[in-house]
Amino acid sequence: MKQTRHPRLLAILGAALLAAIPARGAAAEDGTIRLGAVLPVTGKESKIGGAFKAATEFAVKEANDAGGIDVGGKKMKIELSLLDDTSEASRSAQLVEQLMAQQKVHAVIGGYGSQLVQAQSVVPDRYGIPYVSGGAGATSIYGRSKWVFGVLSPVENLATTQMEFLFDLVKEGKLKPPLKISIVWENTEHGKDFQKGIHDFVKVHAKEFSVALDESFEMYAADFKPLLTRVQGAKADLFMADAHLEDYISMQRTYTQMGLYHQMVTYGARGSDDAARKGLGAATDYIFASGWWSELLPYPQVKAFTDRYKAGTGATPQWYHACAYEAVQAVFAAIRKAGSLKPEAIRAALASLEIKDSILPGGVLRFSKTGQAILPFVVTQNKANGKLDLVWPKEARTGPPVAPMPKG
């Protein structure tokens, strides 16, 4: 059959089809910066994932309300595409790919949780799109791709900071050596880094510390009693766990029900979390935690951020809000520095970035050669009646550490 041609109709249809396909350079023409984010808004990591969502949206709204981001002398608004990976690693990677391949975003804000970010982090190299995580401290994520950056200092350093804090308590005479430690850690790269940090410190300070128990556990375990029964049998002086928020709450509830006691107790970065303190009450008193941020940091920019966040959201920011916010700020600062939305220009700007008024500990944000920020940690300790003190570093203390923990 002879096909009838309609040149004018074909031209109209062709133009319509082309208009429907998003072009990589479209944002430069319409004045929009396309920013993507993949976060665990639902599922097992949703408590903190939801907080990351709120802080990411707050950072974008704040920038848009100020007129946008300066890109080579032109103010551009940010269009945020925020997707929920439901706390599933395979879905998480697929959604990052969707943002980069289909939505042609200029940069992606990575998720929360090293196990989720680990899955996401293999995607940026395929598409050459800058990626900044605000919620993953496992060192194995970084250094494999020049496109991947993270604002969380290594978890190994978190553990070292906790050991330095405990060693100082020994020097002050509050804890009496030798001290035996029970270590339990989630079976992830995050947990392995925590374990390594403790062991490396103990090797150098063998007169003061030894490891009585060293066991891993699977995340989201249904019952922590068998593990804690072994902890009980180890008769250690210190209990050091690395756990995500849900596991911290579950484990500490069982720990309390079993009547366990150690001179000092930590759950790594978990401790002062509102969800735990509200859910467990006095059972969280005197737990200490190393964090990537605290509103108690004595920096004017921290107070200013905290005040703005409270005014804008009605909530008090915790470390995960601050780190999510600062990840977005790193992308914005890189775009300003690059003066361009070209991926390589933004990546190069991230690699050489230095934010001198950062809200994170140390006050300066820069990325190491691996793409991971190396910043100091703070240590906080819960006190009775909902009080919280910054207890390390010593020069920033808001109150003295209580050691050993009171019994009962």
Q: Give me the tens of pLDDT residue by residue for the chain, a chain 408 residues long.
A: 334 344 443 333 333 333 333 334 344 446 899 999 999 999 999 989 999 999 999 999 999 999 999 999 999 999 999 999 999 999 999 999 999 999 999 999 999 989 999 999 999 999 999 999 999 999 999 999 999 999 999 999 999 999 999 999 999 999 999 999 999 999 999 999 999 999 999 999 999 999 999 999 999 999 999 999 999 999 999 999 999 999 999 999 999 999 999 999 999 999 999 999 999 999 999 999 999 999 999 999 999 999 999 999 999 999 999 999 999 999 999 999 999 999 999 999 999 999 999 999 999 999 999 999 999 999 999 999 999 999 999 999 999 999 999 997
Question: Are residues 314 and 277 part of one domain?
Answer: no
In a domain, 356, yes or no: no
Note whether 354 and 364 are within 8 A (CB): yes
Question: Are residues 274 and 243 part of one domain?
Answer: yes
Q: What is the pLDDT of residue 30?
A: 62
In a domain, 97, yes or no: yes
- DSSP single-letter state for residue 283: G
Q: Which of 250, 245, 186 is nearest to 218 (CA)?
A: 186
In a domain, 15, yes or no: no
- DSSP single-letter state for residue 172: T
| CB contact burial 104-137 (16+ within 10 A = b; e otherwise) | bbbbbbbbbbbbbbbbbbebbeebebbbbbbbbb
In a domain, 10, yes or no: no
In a domain, 405, yes or no: no
Question: Are residues 77 and 160 part of one domain?
Answer: no
Distance of CA 1 to the CA centre of its chain: 64
Euclidean distance between CA atoms 133 and 328, whole angstroms: 9
Question: Are residues 143 and 34 part of one domain?
Answer: yes
Q: What is the pLDDT of residue 27?
A: 42
Euclidean distance between CA atoms 321 and 267, whole angstroms: 19
Domain that holds residue 204: 156-291+378-396
Strand partners, 10: none
Relative orientation angle of helices 300-313 and 319-338, to the nearest 10 degrees: 110
Question: Are residues 283 and 176 part of one domain?
Answer: yes
In a domain, 216, yes or no: yes
Question: Are residues 304 and 283 part of one domain?
Answer: no
Question: Are residues 283 and 168 part of one domain?
Answer: yes
Q: What is the pLDDT of residue 7?
A: 40
In the chain, the number of structural domains is 2
Question: Are residues 260 and 115 part of one domain?
Answer: no
- Cα-based distances in Å from 299 to 52, 284, 376: 22, 27, 14
Which amino acid type is present at position 293? W
CATH number for the domain spanning 260: value is: 3.40.50.2300
In a domain, 318, yes or no: yes
Q: What is the pTM of this model?
A: 0.86
In a domain, 225, yes or no: yes
The H-or-E segment that residue 221 falls in is none
Question: Are residues 173 and 84 part of one domain?
Answer: no
Question: Are residues 307 and 202 part of one domain?
Answer: no
Question: Are residues 145 and 160 part of one domain?
Answer: no
Euclidean distance between CA atoms 374 and 353, whole angstroms: 13
Q: What is the pLDDT of residue 19?
A: 33
Question: Are residues 170 and 37 part of one domain?
Answer: no
